[in-house]
Chain A
Amino acid sequence: MNYTYLQASFQDNFYSHSPNHPTANDEGNIYVESGDRLPGIPVDNFKTGLDWQITPKLSAGLTVVYQSGQFYRGDESNQLPKIPGYAMVNLRGEYRVTDRFAILVKVANLFDTEYSSFGLLGQADEVLGDAYLDPRFAGPGAPLGGWIGLRMTL
């Protein structure tokens, strides 16, 4: 089990250039105050794992990952709502068919949680047209995925 508390914040007051921010002034700057948190860095990171040896041949593992919300890059002044945090469950399994041969299974994002791994501010209307005014861009996190592997020991 692993928990990280990370309080990464600016220590000065300054103007930061972020022309796509809704609160940007005429020069495209936003005002960042001491104590504002660095975008893209979640405060809470939690990871825990469990492993079972179900039978001598069959083993399984489970990990749970959680991270709290993070601010958009470009929102150094922390004015916009955060990108939501998320929790994700991953599974793995291994079946030893013989001493030399094993089948591995891995499932990532078991519940197909929809989350964003990072976000930034940009200008969408330049490409998509005038209807797209929201400056927030986000990177969608990987959906439910599965892998099957074979391991041969010679």
Chain B
Amino acid sequence: MNLFSSFGWRAPDSAVDLDLAYANTDLTGNGAIPAELMAQDRSAVFTFPDTTKNELFSVNLNGEHWFGKQVLISGNLFYRNLDTKSFNGDAGDFGTCAPPNETADETEDGMEAAAETGNGEEEGATPVHQEPTYLCDEDGEVLMDRAGNPILAQDADGNPYDAINNRSSRQQETGGGILQATLLQDLFGLSNQFILGVSYFTGS
């Protein structure tokens, strides 16, 4: 959705223009896709879901005023706010490694306890369980989830956790203004145009 509106005001010596714009988009598939995948389905995405949402708001104010026939003061003020939110998947490059020590003990105890409860009647049944492996970064540090627990390398069915979701949010704000004076007085008897201006821009 795009909205644009422009308001103008004119007087013999002055003019003011105000432009307002708003845009809101939700697009899928900014990235390139492999040729073989495109041959199968043109609307496919290489990594899922590859969505980008943009929301833009911008204001632009222009004004000018003539003081007599030879002095023009003009100026501009603008503000622009762009929010970009993207969501995409990617292949995870994480390795696997043994559990961190203290957690390993806890986990083993926990699993043995569970196994014992499950096989409570069968005396001597040795619980067979594989040492759980965890996802690690390149320094061998075990990755933790947001609650601070180590992340397993695979789910209960043995499917590896080998992908990551990337979610990003970017807010850009820019604003600024220009003030300019144009002086048309003759200089040393010759026609002359003298322009003096200041501008200020800021962004984050």
Which residues of A come within 8 Å of B, CB atoms? 114, 116, 118-120, 122, 124, 126-128, 131-134, 136-140, 149, 154
Contact = CB atoms under 8 A, between A and B. Distances in A.
- Summarize B's interface: helix, strand, loop or mixed: mixed
Interface of B: 2, 7, 29, 31-38, 42-43, 46-47, 91
Contacts of B91: 126-127
Given A132-B37, A138-B38, A140-B38, A124 B32 contact: no
B42 A137 contact: no
A127 B46 contact: yes
A132 B35 CA distance: 9
B100 to A, nearest CB: 28
B32 A120 contact: yes
Nearest to B32: A137
A1 B87 CA distance: 40
B155 to A, nearest CB: 19
B36 A124 contact: yes
Nearest to A153: B6
A124 B42 contact: no
B29 A136 contact: no
Nearest to B89: A127
A131 B37 CA distance: 11
A86 B80 CA distance: 35
Contacts of B29: 140
A127 B47 contact: yes
Nearest to B44: A140
Given A126-B91, A127-B47, A140-B29, A132 B34 contact: yes
Nearest to A143: B42
A119 B35 CA distance: 9
A140 B34 contact: no
B35 A137 contact: yes
B159 to A, nearest CB: 14
